[in-house]
Structure 1
Amino acid sequence: MSANVQREMLGSRLGFLLLSAGCAIGLGNVWRFPYITGAYGGAIFVGIYLLCLFAVVPTMIMEFAVGRAARRNMGLAFRVLEPAGTHWHHFGWFALVGSYLLMMFYTTVTGWMLAYCWYMASGALSGLDPAGVGQFFGATLSQPVGQVVGMTLVVLIGCGVCVLGVQKGVERVVKVMMLGLLAILLVLVVRSVTLPGAGEGIAFYLAPDAGKIAGTGLFPVINAAMNQAFFTLSVGIGAMCIFGSYQSRDRSLTGEALWIMGLDTFVAIMAGLIIFPACFAFGVKPDAGPSLIFVTLPNIFNSMEGGRLWGALFFVFMSFAALSTVIAVFENIISYTADVWGVPRRRGTVLHMIIIWLLSLPCALGFNLLADFQPLGPGSSVLDLEDFLISNNILPLGGLIFLLFCTMRRAWGWDNFIAEVDQGLGMKFPRWLRGYLTYVLPCLILFVLGMGYVDRFCK
């Protein structure tokens, strides 16, 4: 099967960089990275995390290379590139299953972000004490109709953008969202670090603290950094593969991946400079996960002069981060049926809109009508199960598949990978990494996979 096919391409290099970064930049940058940085040694953890990012970023480069070489979604790219008689194409389903699993809970959480843009701007949270803010969030989750409406709005936005096409829809909208996200991010950082008492929060966040690592042990710190690195790069479900398939060959892929990694890391670190100075300025203990975003931070905005404005801006920032991921992953899903089954974009978009909506219902109802369903033990929810399946299973396994496909002899292989990745201007891929990628990185991925089960079921 020929890879030389007519295909809609992205309109610019900036579009490629911002679209790929938009897929990578999401909720994990804000509600997990800052917290684990503060808990695991500040600047020391950031250093370890950067090393882990450089350790796993070759999987992103490989995913780009496979997509650009095949000009196809992951679902068909392996079939185009695999040697005759091999069966790598059987792994193509990771793109569809992984993307669906991610969207099954991401659409609901993104709906929370959109709702809180309105709640903050309208003053619905103004005047509430800390307990009242927590109760407000709990009441919001307990309303099945509101949860379904928010999720539905996100599905309609994502599919509405994708139906317009790659350049006119996905690229144009995500570029605006990402540029807006970066602008709002910088405004919020300046506001937070200039609050009285902000210096203590900055020190807690970024000052090196070996005592924290000594308290937890180096092993959990490295594991947390590796987990965050894999999750934040969004590799393993073929999203980077599809963006690679829309990219021209005028730039080499190594430098592009490093730019995307840099943007993603910049947003994650800056998010901490919003959260921790504000927490310490107002004497609020920082938390992680949904309680940080929907309880801790609204309490801070309630205490801050002009808090309604700053709170609304923060949730617009979060909504842009979440929606850019939604649109990027929806594009991956829609392109799967276009490439593998030949379904036209408009028809495929309607088909997936219905399926995604139906599959997102369990999470939307998981905090109300299905609250008694606790699949991973007491206190767990549908969201926890879906997050575990994608974060601790599909993402690392998908990354391992791309890694093996680009390094094994009975696959696409090293020489083909290097020939593709180095086409165009820019940084060339370091060939001396071949031994590391062939023997060491697969073991690191299996380690992350195993530790996910240890953390979940053995503690």
Structure 2
Amino acid sequence: MNKQQAAADGIRRRDGFASHWGYVLACIGSAVGMGNIWMFPSRVSKYGGGSFLIPYFLFVAIIGFSGVIGEMAFGRVTRSGPVGAFQKALESRGGSGRAGRVLGAVPVLGSLALAIGYAVVMGWILKYTVGAFTGETLAPADVDGFSAQFGQMASSFGNNFWQVAGLVLVAVILIAGIGAGIEKVNKIMMPLFFLMFAGLAVYMAFQPGAAAGYRYMFTVDENIANPMTWVYALGQAFFSLSLAGNGTLIYGSYLKDDEDIIGSAWKVALFDTMAAMLAALVIIPAMATAGVNLFDGGPGLLFIHLPNLFKGIPGGAVLAAVFFIAVFFAGITSLINLFEAPIATLQERLGLTRAQAVLAILGIGTVISLCIQAIVGEWMDAVSIYICPLGAGMAGILFYWVFGSKFARAELQKGRKRPIGRWLEPMTKYVFCGLTAAVFVLGIVFQGIG
């Protein structure tokens, strides 16, 4: 058997998604995460409600129909993670395959670094989820008590057990593979996430004062002319759709050729936006009901101020349990995606079995994540500011410029009945690559816009 035949056999044996909605839900799971829950509502609140939503929706549409479709197609055509995909792109133009592998290592390492930081957050979420049932989560008497509770958990080696427990669960899912593990988990967790948050939103709608929150959310004010509204709307949309040259690309590599990528991409963008809006429809009215302003987003919102609010709302214990279960589902599906790119890279480059690659990557992730518990915020900021937009930019340039417009159009047309319009080339080659450069520069200038 020659090398080409062996490679072809390897592609045919490669694991993949079994169904269209399994793939879409996995991509939605990778996109829906903490940015939707602890950052989006605070930015809607800070930048004028509807004044923020208008540019946010605009950027989601642009990025969904340019960056998301590009990474999906890039992975599918190369049947590889970032290292192999970048290598094949450069070799297609007579470039250095070694240089491609080096460039591809950047988003892979970025994905691993982001997963390591996310593992710390997931440990917090798992502890609060269990604590919602035992009573520990809502035990403090006031906001100072909630702050002290979170501070103790987020200190050095302050949450070892729950962090390791979360990583063990992730390892079990990942070892099961793409179809039997990742796809099945997302088919269960993502619908439940939306049902739970929809239920919470309905409950909040009947609370006194909630109408004030809704009015604010959908009112356009002077913030629409504030440049920073547009800057942070761009950052929110970009990072919410998980563009980094790794997660969306690796899921695309498991996709069949008859899949309509553009059709899948708009579903991912739509449901990711719905998740963010549901979070806002729960959190902003809750704040209005309590008669307080929405605090800055981040861990403080999720682990201090919201538990303090739940404690004072009728049925707060039940609300807290439903809320943290749903947040756990959103977080673990994102964490699975972040670990997948480095795992697939070890399988491709070193020939490891699935289980060996998972245990190696999760072993590294466990050790490092335990050591960075007290500095996880700085760790995540560094990765998101410098590595994520760089990886997304390289993937966009390699697919749309190096492979070229004709190649990209042909790949995106696969599985699609209707011909793609003339919008494709300007939207992808110029608008998306330009926005990615803007995200990179603005992130450095403002020390994070995602």
Q: Matched residue of 2:30: which SS?
A: helix
User: Does residue 212 of the first structure (1) align with residue 223 of the second (2)?
Assistant: yes
Q: Equivalent residue for 1:395? A: 388
Identity %: 29
Of 327, 336, 350, the match for 2:336: 327
Long gaps (5+) in structure 1 = 367-381
**What are the superposed Cα offsets for residues 43-90 of structure 1, whole Å, 9 maximum, x if unpaired?**
121111111122222111111101111111112123234415213343
Please point out which of 295, 302, 306 is paired with 2:311: 302
CA contact (8 A) 2:120 2:376 kept: no
> Partners of 1:40 and 1:334 in 2: how far apart?
39
Question: Does structure 1 retain, via aligned residues, the 8 Å contact 2:81–2:341?
Answer: yes
Find the aligned partners of 1:453 and 1:79 in 2 and give their Cα distance. Answer: 28
| 1:251 maps to which of 248, 254, 259 | 259
320-329 vs 132-141, which moves further:
132-141
In the TM superposition, 1:275-290 aligns within 5 A as: 275-287=283-295, 288-290=297-299
Find the aligned partners of 1:12 and 1:176 in 2 and give their Cα distance: 14
Per-residue deviation, residues 183-217 of structure 1 (Å, max 9, x unmatched): 11111111111111110111122222x23345xx2
The offset of 1:131, in angstroms, is 2.0
Unpaired segments ≥5 residues, structure 2? none
8 A Cα contact 1:230 1:395, kept in partner = no
d(CA) in 2 for partners of 1:295 and 1:318?
15
Q: Secondary structure at the match of 2:159?
A: helix
Does the Cα contact within 8 Å between 2:223 and 2:229 map onto a contact in 1?
A: no
1:434 — aligned with what?
425
1:38–1:206 Cα contact (<8 Å) kept? no
Does the 8 A contact of 1:337 with 1:343 survive in 2?
yes
Q: 2:324 aligns with which of 290, 296, 315?
A: 315
Q: Which residue of 2 aligns with 1:223?
A: 231
CA contact (8 A) 1:170 1:331 kept: no
Shift of 1:92: 1.2
- Matched residue count: 434
Aligned to 1:55: 62
Partner of 1:139: 152
Query: Which residue in the other structure is 1:346 paired with?
Result: 355
Alignment of 1:374-413 (within 5 A): 382-408=375-401, 411-413=402-404
After TM superposition, the score normalised by the length of structure 1 is 0.90
Cα deviations by residue, 1:362-405 (Å, 9 ceiling, x for unpaired): 322x1xxxxxxxxxxxxxxx223222222112121111112111
Change (3 A) 1:428 1:47: farther
1:79 maps onto 2:87 in alignment: yes
**Partner Cα separation in structure 1 for residue 157 and residue 101 of structure 2:** 41
Answer yes or no: is the 8 Å Cα contact 1:284–1:296 preserved in 2: no
Q: Is the CA contact 2:245–2:393 (under 8 Å) kept in the aligned structure 1?
A: no
Say whether residues 1:198 and 2:207 are aligned partners: no
2:412 is the alignment partner of 1:421: yes
The aligned runs of 1:108-123 (5 Å cut-off) are 108-123=120-135
CA contact (8 A) 1:110 1:322 kept: yes
CA distance in 2, matches of 1:127, 1:356: 32
Q: Deviations over 1:270-321 (max 9, x none)?
A: 1000001111112233111111111111111111111111101100011110
Normalising by structure 2, what TM-score?
Answer: 0.92
Give the conservation status (yes or no) of the 8 Å contact 1:251–1:423.
yes
Equivalent in 4, 25, 38 of residue 18 of structure 1 = 25
Q: Distance in 2 between matches of 1:439 and 1:127?
A: 52
- Which range moved further: 266-275 or 89-98? 89-98
Q: Deviation string for 1:106-128 (max 9, x for gaps)? A: 00111111111122222222461
**SS of 1:14's equivalent?**
helix
The answer on whether the counterparts of 1:98 and 1:237 sit within 8 Å (CA) in structure 2 is no
Distance of 2:150 and 2:134 partners within structure 1: 16
Structure-2 residue corresponding to 1:451: 442
8 Å Cα contact 2:245-2:395 kept in structure 1: no
